[in-house]
Structure 1
Amino acid sequence: MNTLAAVMQLLVAAAFVSIPLVRHRFGPVAKAAAEAELRRQNVRPGVLEENKLRFDASGHETAAPVAVAAVMTAIAALNLAGADLAQPLTWIFSSLVVLMNGVIVYSNLTAVTSVETAFRRKGDPELTRVEVKPFLQAAEDAFPRWVRAQTYLRNTVVFGGSAVALLAVSLA
């Protein structure tokens, strides 16, 4: 059962690493599409850069998923080694991963409202003129179609893999 938990944790780690990889590869294209949409809306595209709004995998958008992947990989190694510490760490971190991924899914589902709120908070009058829904849609449409399927697969792996890992260590 520890091996099953470890395999699930490694799949969860891979799922989290996929986030910055996709954003790194296609973020510049998404940014260009978002800037084109801003021009269509008669909003200066430079406003994104001025307000440090990015579509790539810089900063916490790489650090957070890579950190999660590293922790899950370390716990998988503990499970493979049969370490006593593996079970409580699996319970703690697999539960946290489920919660974090829930927040990510919620954030994606409420992106338009969140971005509108964030733009208002920035206090830049040009940002408040942005029609956020078409702006975000332009960026999303710049990603290849398979990215949407990859997102569903990633969420399934994270939620399902974490649940299986928790069940496996409970039965071990």
Structure 2
Amino acid sequence: MKKRLAEQVVVVLGASSGIGRATARAAARRGANVVVAARNAPALDAAVLEIEAEGAAGIAVATDTTSPAGLESLCARAVERFGRIDTFVASVMVTVYAEVEQLDADELRRVMDVNFLGRAHAYKAALPHLKATRGTFIDVNSGLAYRGIPLQAAYCASKAAGRAFFESARTEQEKNDTGVDIT
């Protein structure tokens, strides 16, 4: 049986703004210990103040989503501070608005590195910890993982790749009966 949120350690990648920051605050409001991670250290420090204002404990870990070693370090810091990881939320995204014809190769690579590979590497880094707690990996995706729209080819492709990756990972965890949920 899964722990109540008030008993969990929650890591939120992409917590400097938007859905990630709101998720971190909501988890804190429900009593979870929260680790916030993103590149923007000042925004993370502000997020920790919000977490503490909710009466929860939190730490900020400046993290480059595109660095597998950085994601391993994030998980290690979470375990060092709180002893475990129960839930890992990957809420990262970047985009570039351009028609494919004008899309620069470096821009395309950056979107794929953050939106797809970053989430995939976060999952790989978190997985041993989630197996230990029979925890949950939450991949925050997009409806655009299912369709393309003008000016967003890179974003749509990165989100579609993530959708397929996490569908496969979920079936592997079910087959192996690890107790790890992926949503």
TM range (shorter): under 0.3
Larger Cα Rg: Structure 1 or Structure 2?
Answer: 1
1 or 2 for the larger relative contact order (CA 8 Å, sep ≥6)? Answer: 1
